[in-house]
Structure 1
């Protein structure tokens, strides 16, 4: 079966290849020379514009010094690169799909995050992140690595030519006192400050609006200038990228419905300010 260019697997694998080359301290020319391919070919692979065969992957992994379980995981990804979607089980480790997610966020022109129970990672302050990590039994240096990574991802919101970002927050995410009242007040005011940026739109669905289609679960959609939209679902111990247009469409329809259910942008900011004031009262 011919491989389908542009699947989440191919695009994710491309991101991992580039990350591995950077970690190996090699430029595209030197890495390509060592495996006997042209720099242009390797460049197209890293951009997700060319199939990455298991043979090419095996050769590159030798150059990048990747062995053992990680080598087998990447070779499996190369063998399955043409399949739609991408399911990753992460267990109690740093997510394997994180390089792909970071790459998708950096390349996207627009991102929508629907959050039911907590603030999205791109909006979280350090104390909020640490509390979330602690609750998941992530501690010590591993916690600080993950905190730094999450904070680094947030640069897509403030860089030149930033990502256009919409988040739809259920009131439940605002009312759960992660880290206590002081942390929550700081977290909410951080979101209010971000909402003042022209590329960031924050919408709140208050409890008074009753049931809404977002109650089926949190999700993110990432849109690109020259590639298909991807849906990202994250759950405990696993995550899923969806890239088939027929499967993506219901999430896009849900976003339109949720925008209608949510408060307007100005009213959402006022609502956030009221909740922050409630936390100030202790």
Structure 2
């Protein structure tokens, strides 16, 4: 007789998801293989998700919700599941991202995670650790679903020119990442300004930081170190970083000029490299 792993739905969001998936599948009188055939996934994958050995994706959740008539239960749960898989020290930050009405971030050397492409994420996360890279990439990308809400947050990102020129991954990865940034050029909720090298000394020399603003709660400033995050609502820190951010935005290029610089770096630095390697130019 096949041993069936019985999950404790209270153990974790992933266990709860698997428990509910199995419960609804069995209520529908379907085997794992039959459900897999309906939603175009393997029965083995269905089984791995039911036993909390594999992370569900938003796409999987949407298909199963439709197939089993769950009223969107799994799609609502998947965000919680993904957030629970983030490093423990970062989970609070993901909650801040999900609750904020405005996110203002200054990034010194790479694109913020909320605007990273899948290939860029893999290059960043895989630098020192290739373990579970697919799942870790999916977890980071899932944070971007906050922009799919009926009232998504407004994001302002001041990005150092160094982040455009620091090659993370290969030229194709960078081409794709910079092209992705250009997709937001006409979106008033996703605003990207580049702080050019010509700005010289600036208010962000101490490093990257993010300010979260909320509808009714105090602002929170977040800074990050190796394997640790530091959110604070200290009024003096918030006041100082808010002033710094205003100065950074003033020193940065306009939205239009920033897009032009991103486009120029993409075409001259990364598309040219791809062409020299014999690959298609982006």
Give the structure-2-normalised TM-score: 0.66
Displacement of 1:100: 1.5
- Counterpart position of 1:120: 112
Larger RCO, structures 1/2 (Cα 8 Å, 6+ apart) = 1
CA distance in 2, matches of 1:20, 1:247: 37
- Counterpart position of 2:157: 167
CA distance in 1, matches of 2:90, 2:219: 18
Alpha carbons 1:108, 1:223 under 8 Å: kept: yes
Displacement of 1:187: 0.2
Displacement of 1:250: 0.6
Give the match's secondary structure for 2:192: strand
Deviations 1:59-100 (A, max 9, x none): xxxxxxxxxxxxxxxxxxxxxxxxxxxxxxxxxx95213321
- Counterpart position of 2:266: 276
Aligned residues: 196
Deviations 1:160-182 (A, max 9, x none): 21110000000000000111211
Displacement of 1:194: 2.3
Superposition pairs for residues 19-58 of structure 1, below 5 Å? 22-23=13-14, 25=16
CA RMSD between the two structures: 2.0
Give the match's secondary structure for 1:157: helix
Give the structure-1-normalised TM-score: 0.66
- Counterpart position of 1:139: 130
- Counterpart position of 1:191: 181
Give the match's secondary structure for 1:214: coil
Alpha carbons 1:113, 1:220 under 8 Å: kept: yes
CA distance in 1, matches of 2:142, 2:86: 15
Larger C-alpha radius of gyration, 1 or 2?
2
Q: Which runs of 5+ in 2 are unaligned?
A: 1-9, 18-84, 274-282
Superposition pairs for residues 1-282 of structure 1, below 5 Å? 22-23=13-14, 25=16, 95-135=87-127, 137-141=128-132, 143-278=133-268, 279-282=270-273
